[in-house]
Amino acid sequence: MRDVAVVAFAQTHHTDHDTGVSEPELILPAIDEVREKTGLRSFGFTCSGSCDYLAGAPFSFVSALDALGAWPPISESHVEMDGAWALYEAWVRLQHGDVDTALVYGFGKSSLGNLRTIMTLQLDPYYLEPLGLDQLSMAGLQASALGAPQEELDEIVRRSRADGRANPYALDLPLEGGEPPITDGAAAVVLAAGDRAGELCANPAYIRGIAHRIEPHYLGMRDLSRSVSAADAARAAGVGKGRVEVAELHAQFAHEEIILRQALELPAETVINPSGGPLAANPVMATGLIRIGEAASHILDGRAARTVGHAAGGPCLQHNLVTVLEA
């Protein structure tokens, strides 16, 4: 595979309420920042991730193009998935060898609707959605399947929220209570291939492995206390081939962190979610991309040599993406 690296990452100062900015206005500062960091105005490929249902209208990604100033017309695509999968699509595109740079972004304003209920609309519309299980109910099912001690879960929340307070981009939240916050925010990443990576930044965070797997949708078909798809993706990405210093996990709930840690076989010395993770800022559709960006930042800043970024989608960690980044 061609060497591809994260060479720049930017995110918004996430908010727990609607600040009145449109989606293009939300994205623009993050795009500007990665452009400034890399000195690039245009990219060989662009890909984004967003979800129409957050705004309750079709084509949330259409007006985002206005934020890019996509002129002359650009080679661009969009996934109705977390921006982490947009990064995956861009990584694949860079493997062709004809383009060397890619811009990836993800964004979402969860403040505009009732996110817990909206997530219900993601379920099988015939057999599951009519049951009315919202996001918290499903998380509750998974937490009870795992059966972790309450103190362990509370400690994960406490640690995440404390770390979040130290992260200028995350929210300032109480140290108790296990719900991921409603968050508006966006993030952008620039990928560069081959020699371009070294030209664009001092310490490129090379993607040494990236893989994702989905598993059955129906909760009854899965052992909810484990994540087979995260474990498979981690093996395919080569997580275990070296020491992982930092792992940023897309764990929206404390019990998900325990399940993922187990699936990725992360040892106790691996630092988990030093950014505070999704429990400290959860801009849906950007949260997974931010995990990769945060994991990459440790390498870009020269603070670590090997990190892991993880993203999840679907009810109860149905779909998992794992990225191994190295200096």
Partner 1 sequence: MGNSCAVIGVGQTYYTTKRRDVSIAGLVREAALRALEDAGLTFKDIDAVVVGKAPDLFEGVMMPEAYLADALGAAGKPMMRVHTAGSVGGSTALVGASLIQGGVHDRVLVVAFEKQSESNATWALSTHLPFNASLVVGAGGYFAPHIREYMRRSGAPEHIGTLVAVKDRQNALKNPYAHLKIPGINRQMVESTPMLWEPIRYLETCPSSDGACAMVLASESAVTGTPAWVHGTAMRSEPIFRAGRDTVNPQGGKDCAADVYRQAGIADPRRDIDVAETYVPFSWYEPMWLENLGFAAEGEGWKLTESGATALDGDIPWNASGGVLSSNPIGASGLIRFAEAAQQVRGMAGEHQVDGARRALGHAYGGGAQFFAMWVVGREKP
Q: Which is nearer to partner 1, 37 or 116 (CB)?
A: 116
Looking only at residues 241 through 300 of this chain, which bind partner 1 when binding is defined by CB under 8 A?
Answer: none
Q: How far is the CB of 266 from partner 1 (least distance, A)?
A: 22
Kindly indicate which of the ranges 73-81, 137-145, 287-295, 303-311 contains the residues binding partner 1, using the contact rule CB under 8 A.
73-81
Kindly list the distances between the CA atom of residue 309 and the CA atoms of 71, 151, 320, in Å, as whole numbers in the listed order. Answer: 32, 26, 11
Among 158, 165, 217, 303, binds partner 1 (CB under 8 A): 217
Counting residues that bind partner 1 (by CB under 8 A) gives 72
323 is written with which tokens?
Answer: 């990225």
75 counts as binding partner 1 under rule CB under 8 A: yes
CB-CB contact of 64 with 107 (8 Å): yes
Q: How far is the CB of 90 from partner 1 (least distance, A)?
A: 10
CB-CB contact of 30 with 59 (8 Å): no
Which residues, 6 or more positions from 48, have their beta carbon under 8 angstroms from its beta carbon? 61, 64, 76, 78, 79, 83, 86, 104, 105, 106, 107
175 counts as binding partner 1 under rule CB under 8 A: no
User: How many Å apart are CA 75 and CA 216, to the nearest integer?
Assistant: 33
Q: Which is nearer to partner 1, 119 or 292 (CB)?
A: 119
Kindly indicate which of the ranges 16-24, 187-195, 262-270, 292-300 contains the residues binding partner 1, using the contact rule CB under 8 A.
16-24
Looking only at residues 121 through 160 of this chain, which bind partner 1 when binding is defined by CB under 8 A?
Answer: 121-126, 128-129
| CA nearest neighbour of 310 among 326, 321, 301 | 321
20 counts as binding partner 1 under rule CB under 8 A: yes
62 counts as binding partner 1 under rule CB under 8 A: yes
Among 3, 66, 134, 179, binds partner 1 (CB under 8 A): 66
22 counts as binding partner 1 under rule CB under 8 A: yes
Dihedral sign from CA coordinates of 170, 173, 179, 185: negative
Q: Which is nearer to partner 1, 209 or 277 (CB)?
A: 209
Pairing verdict, β 271-272 and 319-326: unpaired
Residue keyed to tokens 């030209």: 199
Q: How far is the CB of 201 from partner 1 (least distance, A)?
A: 23
DSSP code per residue over 182-247: P-EEEEEEEEEETHHHHHH-SS-EEEEEEEEEE--SSGGGS-TTS-HHHHHHHHHHTGGGS--SEE
Q: How far is the CB of 216 from partner 1 (least distance, A)?
A: 5
Looking only at residues 96 through 115 of this chain, which bind partner 1 when binding is defined by CB under 8 A?
Answer: 96-98, 112
318 counts as binding partner 1 under rule CB under 8 A: yes
CA R_g for the chain? 18
Looking only at residues 31 through 60 of this chain, which bind partner 1 when binding is defined by CB under 8 A?
Answer: 46, 51-53, 55-60
